Structures are given as C-alpha cells and as structure tokens.
C-alpha cells in the first residue's frame, strides 16, 4: 500500500515502514505505528515553539513522538526524528492515550498551561494521534498548537484543521534545490500547506539560516515577499517570521554557526515586506 501523508507516497509492505519510520501497513491498511508513543513531554513557555503572538506569557504542554519525513542533515532532534531503529525506539517509548494526555494537560492548568503543543519530531507523520488528542483537548476547553515542517498533504491538514488553534511552520528556505537536495523535501508542498493553513488558524513561520545554503539577501527577499502576498485571516505582511541561527549538528558539522550579523541583516531585509520579524536561537 502507498502512504498518502506527503509527496513521497511511500510504498509500505505488510509490517514494513515508510521513510518516516512512523507509519506501517497492517492487513493492507496504512496506519501510524507511532500512535500514542511518546518520547518527550515538557511544560514549556509558548514562546519556545516559537510563537510570539499567541497567548504570550503562557505555558503549553509539549509532546513529541518519533519519526520525520524530511532528512535535514542538521536536525536538532535527530535521536527521535531520524533514529537508527524506530522499532527499538518505539519499544522504549511511554504510551499515552489521547485521554491520558489531555488529563495531564488539564492537571497543569494551575501552572499556566493553555493546552497541548505537538512538536519535537514531525507530528503529522502520526496525524491520527494529533487529531484524536486535539479534539479531546478542545472539548476540555484548551488550545492546540502544531509545530510542523509543513510537508503534508492538504488531506492531512483538513483532518486536523478543525482542532488546531495555532501553528509554527518551518519555511526552511525558498529554492527547490535546497528542499530537494539538502532536506529531501518539497518546497511546493510546504507552500501549499502554508497557503491553506493561514486561512484557518494563527500561523507563525520559522526560517533557519544555514551558511552557504539559504543565507543570501536575494532568497530572503523572495521568501518574505511570498509570505507578504499570502491571503488569510490577516494580510500576509502580518504573518510573523522567525529568523533563526544555525548551529553545527548531526551530519552537518562542516561549517560554523551562522554569524549573528547575518541573521540581523536578513531579518532587516524581511522587514521590507513583513511587519513582525523576530530573531533568535542564539
């Protein structure tokens, strides 16, 4: 059977997994092998997602599972996003049903928690768990945040959309070459995902600046100009952009951290088109 979560359309044999490592085939049906399996759980400031314009000063219960459909060579969470063995990692995970996770979220309301953030790995490779948990979270009167690479079909977005209140979506660069050759992704799929998402819930975007890859003024001018042209609940120029600094990680240790001056320079260029541009990850 072929998976339909993203552009890869992985063929998954019975009891096998797709490239993301989180989806399998059982009895001829594609299902999330990662459902309910939790690798990370923490109460975080909402600003760490990062979100600057959605309930600032609040806390959110952040939950992660395992697997990702990109292959970023600088992944900060590669232990869970790109593990050597998803089967071994899955066996070591905690298991939390949607009901159990929402109960934990409710129990932390007294500590300023507003809801649940699905983050750390790519949550949409296990979108069914996001949907089921987020629906219960809404019924409990709490909010849902999605932190995603945006590499998912509009069918997947439609499935979770009614239950998502805010998202930070990676727009990792603005060239097909960078997405295809460095990240193993699809810029066109991410653009389609963002274009639809901004019509339905609060969206902030993040671009990690990698030296020698996506750090030219021309690319930032094109990227921020595209954002400014988006039509959503707000004019595109009001969509916040986070410009972040790269640090050598995982397989990409062949270059130093991004110069802070470059991050500031690119942020200034983005401000030619956008009202809210934040710098960070120092």
User: Does 225 have pLDDT greater than 90?
Assistant: yes
Mean pLDDT across 64-93: 93
Is the pLDDT reported for residue 211 higher than 70? yes
Locate 153 and state its tokens: 């079909």
pLDDT digits (tens, 9 = 90+) for 116-127: 999 999 999 999
Would the pLDDT of 234 be above 70? yes
- Cα gap 112→177, rounded to integer Å: 43
Other CB atoms within 10 A of residue 55 CB = 18
> What is the per-residue pLDDT for 90?
85
* Residue 8 predicted with pLDDT over 70: yes
Q: Where are the alpha helices (DSSP H) in the chain?
A: 78-81, 86-92, 98-107, 127-139, 154-160, 176-177, 187-197, 217-228, 260-270
pLDDT of residue 282: 61
- Kindly state the DSSP code that residue 277 receives in the 8-state scheme: E
**Domains of the chain in sequence order:** 35-280 (3.20.20.70)
Residue 85 is predicted with a pLDDT of: 83
By the 8 A CB rule, do 28 and 1 touch? yes
Average pLDDT over residues 224-242: 91
Phi and psi for 241 in degrees, rounded to 5?
-120, 130
Query: How large is the average pLDDT for residues 190-214?
Result: 97
Percent residues over pLDDT 90 in the chain: 94
The average confidence (pLDDT) of the chain is 96
What percentage of residues in the chain have a pLDDT greater than 70?
100
pLDDT at 235 over 90: no
**pLDDT confidence of 88, banded at 50, 70, 90?**
confident
Summarised one tens digit per residue, pLDDT across range 158-193 is: 999 999 999 999 999 999 999 999 999 999 999 999
- Across residues 198-227, what is the average pLDDT? 98
Tokens for 102, please give them. Answer: 């929402």
């Amino acid at each position: 059977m072929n998976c339909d979560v993203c552009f890869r359309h992985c063929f998954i044999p019975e009891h096998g997994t797709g490239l993301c490592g989180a989806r399998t085939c059982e009895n001829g049906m594609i299902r999330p092998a990662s459902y309910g399996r939790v690798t990370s759980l923490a109460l975080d400031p909402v600003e760490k997602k990062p979100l600057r314009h959605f309930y600032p000063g609040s806390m959110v219960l952040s939950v992660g599972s395992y697997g990702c459909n990109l292959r970023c060579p600088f992944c900060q969470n590669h232990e869970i996003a790109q593990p050597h063995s998803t089967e071994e990692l899955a066996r070591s995970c905690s298991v939390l049903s949607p009901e159990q996770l929402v109960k934990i979220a409710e129990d932390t309301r007294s500590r300023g928690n507003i809801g649940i953030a699905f983050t750390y790995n790519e949550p949409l490779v296990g979108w069914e768990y996001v949907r089921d948990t987020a629906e219960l979270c809404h019924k409990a009167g709490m909010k849902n945040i999605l932190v995603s690479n945006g590499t998912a079909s509009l069918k997947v977005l439609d499935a979770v959309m009614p239950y998502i209140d805010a998202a930070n979506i990676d727009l990792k660069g603005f060239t097909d070459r960078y997405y295809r050759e460095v990240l193993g992704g699809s810029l066109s799929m991410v653009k389609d995902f963002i274009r639809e998402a901004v019509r339905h819930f609060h969206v902030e975007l993040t671009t990690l600046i990698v030296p020698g890859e996506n750090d030219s003024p021309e690319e930032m001018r094109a990227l921020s100009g595209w954002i400014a042209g988006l039509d959503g609940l707000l004019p595109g120029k009001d969509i916040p952009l986070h410009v972040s600094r790269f640090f050598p990680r995982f397989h990409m240790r062949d270059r130093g951290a991004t110069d802070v001056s470059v991050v500031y320079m690119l942020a200034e260029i983005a401000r030619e088109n956008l009202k809210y541009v934040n710098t960070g990850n120092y």
